[in-house]
Amino acid sequence: MERTELIREVERLKAERNAVILAHNYQLPEVQEVADYVGDSLGLARRAAETDARVIVFAGVHFMAETAAILNPDKTVLLPDLEAGCSLADTITPEDVRRWKDEHPDGIVVAYVNTTAEVKALADVCVTSSNAVEVVAQLPKDRPIFFLPDMFLGAHVERETGRKMDVWMGECHVHAGIRTEDIERALAAHPGAEFLIHPECGCSTNCLFMKPDAKMLSTSQMVAHAKESPAQEFVIATEVGILHQLAKQAPGKTFIPVREDAICEYMKKITLEKVYESLRDLKHVITVPEPTRQAAQRAIEGMIAVG
């Protein structure tokens, strides 16, 4: 089926199924273009919680579809490709969390949204890259905190809040692959550009010393900043899928990725054809067992309420 016909069929099936398509900023441009909403994890969670649609097609990775299923137990949540996983979410297990909780009975578990439903169910609150600092800043000062699973986001939160936490040593393979030398090279080639960096990047601490006016932002915050900034050129340190949304929302401006190969192969497993097939066949349905869902829902709703 040709692309034009695929788009037409997706729109027809959306109406027929009373469906909504939610897409992450890292998705392929063709998928972003058929989505009803494109955003970061926090924005997507909020849209999933608010939608009246009976079917949610989640163009993202598995933990994102799980989050939508947790918030919408009475709706059908579809993930177009079951192999769309997350290397960061895979770094920690429920057993790892239980072990820490056993050793710190008065502790608070703060789980990044990039985690499985089972891990979220053991958390006190979830966070995203856009609200992690604000959430942690509000937590009681006299209780230990376990921040998981991204060590670079955890370091950013510690730096911004002044709170010392137990931080899990997990990382996103794409953001960890962005090196200081990549950024130095891009900034040297574009000395007048603004520099926007995602807090999951492994070199984020070095970058703040190297360029104190760097903006550490989630993907949706990058889009919002680029739209409002008077700057015309930006160096971008995150997965390259964001470039499509940046160019679309801030037309006429120039966006330079620090690495053109900063590509999440899991995000890119979702294609326009798979979105169509997912709607056509109502596949693949993502569900979460009820006890896990209820426990995880409390942590996710705490995340949605902040920022």
- Does 131 or 273 have the greater pLDDT score? 273
The response to whether 218 counts as a known ligand-binding position is no
What angle do the packed helices 219-228 and 242-249 form, to 10 degrees? Answer: 30
**pLDDT value at position 307?**
59
- 284 cis-preceded (ω within 30 degrees of 0): yes
**276 annotated as ligand-binding:** no
pLDDT of residue 43: 87
* Cα–Cα distance measured from residue 29 to residue 271, given in angstroms and rounded to the nearest whole number: 9
* 116 among annotated binding-site residues: no
Q: Where are the domains of the chain?
A: 3-86+267-288, 89-171+295-304, 174-257
* In contact, 25 and 38? CB cutoff 8 Å: yes
| CATH of the domain spanning 3-86+267-288 | 3.40.50.10800
What confidence tier does 205 reach under pLDDT thresholds 50, 70, 90? low
pLDDT tens-digit readout, 157-188: 999 999 999 999 999 999 999 999 999 999 99
Section 61-65 average pLDDT = 95
Annotation-wise, does 86 bind a ligand? yes
Could you say which of 3.40.50.10800, 3.30.360.10, 3.40.190.10, 1.20.1050.10 is the CATH number of the domain covering 89-171+295-304?
Answer: 3.40.50.10800
Confidence of residue 206 (pLDDT cuts 50, 70, 90): low
89-171+295-304 and 174-257: identical CATH topology = yes
Q: Which of 138, 145, 140 is nearest to 123 (CA)?
A: 145
Is 9 among the annotated ligand-binding positions? no
Residue 199 assigned to a binding site: yes
Predicted pLDDT at 208: 62
How do 108-112 and 145-148 pair as beta strands? parallel
149 annotated to bind ligand: no
Mean pLDDT of 74-79: 96
Residue 239 to residue 175: CA distance in whole angstroms: 7
What pLDDT was estimated at residue 183?
92
On whether 72 is known to bind a ligand per the annotation, the reply is no
pLDDT number for residue 249: 97
Task: Label residues 50-78 b or e (16+ Cβ within 10 Å = b).
Answer: ebebebbbbbbbbbbbbbbbbbbeebbbb
Give the homologous superfamily in CATH for domain 174-257: NadA-like (3.40.50.10800)
pLDDT digits (tens, 9 = 90+) for 105-153: 999 999 999 999 999 999 999 998 889 999 999 999 999 999 999 999 9
Q: How many CA within 13 A on the CB side of residue 190?
A: 19
Model confidence band, residue 236 (pLDDT cutoffs 50, 70, 90): very high
pLDDT at 302: 84
Tell me if 219 is assigned to a ligand binding site: yes
The pLDDT of residue 42: 79
Sign of CA pseudo-dihedral 272, 273, 276, 281: negative
- To the nearest whole number, what is the mean pLDDT of the chain? 94
Residue the block writes with tokens 């160019």:
247
- Above 90 in pLDDT, residue 234? yes
Predicted pLDDT at 155: 92
* Residue 204: predicted pLDDT: 62
Q: Is 198 annotated as a binding residue?
A: yes
- Consult the annotation and say whether 201 binds a ligand: no
Q: In this predicted structure, what is the pLDDT of residue 63?
A: 95
Cβ neighbour number for residue 99 with a 10 Å cutoff: 11
Q: Give the tokens for residue 127.
A: 């966070």
